[in-house]
């Protein structure tokens, strides 16, 4: 699933590529992806211009000039790939493609989704804040005003939670998933099964430092294409070579030479080094 660095990469790219463009036409081949009647969706969206694209957690917000916002959640395997007019289409543009936005200048935006868990919603601009309040997303970890004091206050509320599950719960912190929770915990030398209430303040601080270090670092390299993720140009992210534990089960730890292991926690995988991250 695209996490904060991947979704933020796409947001930044699309802001440069499609802002101020008018949506001339929309093709929809998978109606269940659009969470309202297609005739209503087409009527509202067609002819509108994109003012800007923002993000909350892992959700992209396409702000239109007609008072509506398109919310796009890529979920497990969603992609948004832009192609300018006259650009020859690639396999990744047409494979598993379910929605195409055609812009007035001939360019297109392809919404692909292999597993079909993603969605598109329309919400009035004035109701968007309330929508996200109902979703109860936690704070944005990359914001400067998200401090260690804030993180400590949140984490102290969930003493019985296992730290891996705490980090990927979007109501605690927004945007962190399997990849970066594993990497943050390795950075902090904390075992993913540790209970939050057992952690010392120094360990909690190290986890916070890992969040503030690893997420911007992954964003710098346009995310991790360990699974299905591609950026808005259809390119893979470049952070995979820098991953220390995620998806490296059976390989040597880059720090101590031990063997990376994987375990299941609540149906989710956790990768860790048993020598560096003791239970």
Catalytic residues: 2-3, 58, 268
Angle of the 201-220 helix axis to the 178-188 helix axis, nearest 10: 130
Chain Cα centroid distance, residue 66: 27
- The CA-CA-CA angle for residues 150, 245, 5, to 5°, reads 50
**Site of tokens 């296992």:** 162
Please check whether residue 241 is in contact with residue 257, taking contact to mean a CB–CB distance below 8 angstroms.
Answer: no
Is 1 within 8 Å of 76 (Cβ atoms)?
A: yes
CB contact set of 259 (below 8 Å; sequence gap of 6+): 250, 251, 252, 253, 273, 274
Longest Cα–Cα distance of the chain, Å, equals 59
The number of CA neighbours under 13 Å toward the Cβ of 147 is 3
Question: Which residues sit opposite 120 in a β-bridge?
Answer: 34, 72
Contact 246, 159 (CB under 8 A): no
């Amino acid at each position: 699933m695209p996490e904060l660095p991947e979704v933020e990469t796409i947001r930044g790219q699309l802001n440069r590529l499609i802002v101020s463009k008018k949506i001339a036409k929309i093709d929809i081949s998978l109606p269940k992806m659009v969470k309202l009647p297609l005739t209503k969706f087409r009527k509202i969206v067609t002819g509108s211009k994109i003012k800007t694209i923002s993000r909350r957690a892992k959700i992209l917000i396409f702000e239109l000039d007609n008072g509506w916002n398109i919310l796009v959640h890529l979920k497990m395997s969603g992609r948004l790939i832009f192609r300018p007019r006259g650009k020859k289409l690639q396999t990744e543009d047409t494979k598993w493609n379910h929605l195409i936005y055609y812009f007035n200048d001939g360019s297109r935006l392809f919404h692909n989704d292999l597993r079909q868990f993603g969605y598109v919603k329309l919400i009035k601009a004035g109701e968007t804040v309330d929508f996200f309040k109902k979703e109860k997303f936690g704070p944005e970890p990359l914001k400067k005003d998200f401090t260690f004091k804030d993180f400590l206050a949140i984490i102290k509320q969930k003493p019985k939670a296992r730290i891996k599950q705490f980090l990927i719960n979007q109501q605690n912190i927004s945007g962190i998933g399997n990849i970066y929770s594993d990497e943050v915990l390795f950075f902090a030398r904390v075992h993913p099964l540790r209970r939050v209430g057992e952690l010392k303040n120094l360990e909690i601080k190290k986890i916070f430092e890992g969040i503030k270090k690893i997420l911007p670092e992954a964003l710098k390299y346009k995310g991790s294409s360990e699974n299905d993720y591609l950026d808005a140009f259809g390119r893979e992210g470049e952070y995979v070579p820098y991953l220390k534990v995620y998806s490296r089960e059976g390989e040597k730890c880059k720090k101590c030479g031990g063997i990376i292991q994987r375990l299941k926690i609540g149906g989710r995988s956790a990768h860790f080094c048993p020598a560096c991250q003791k239970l």
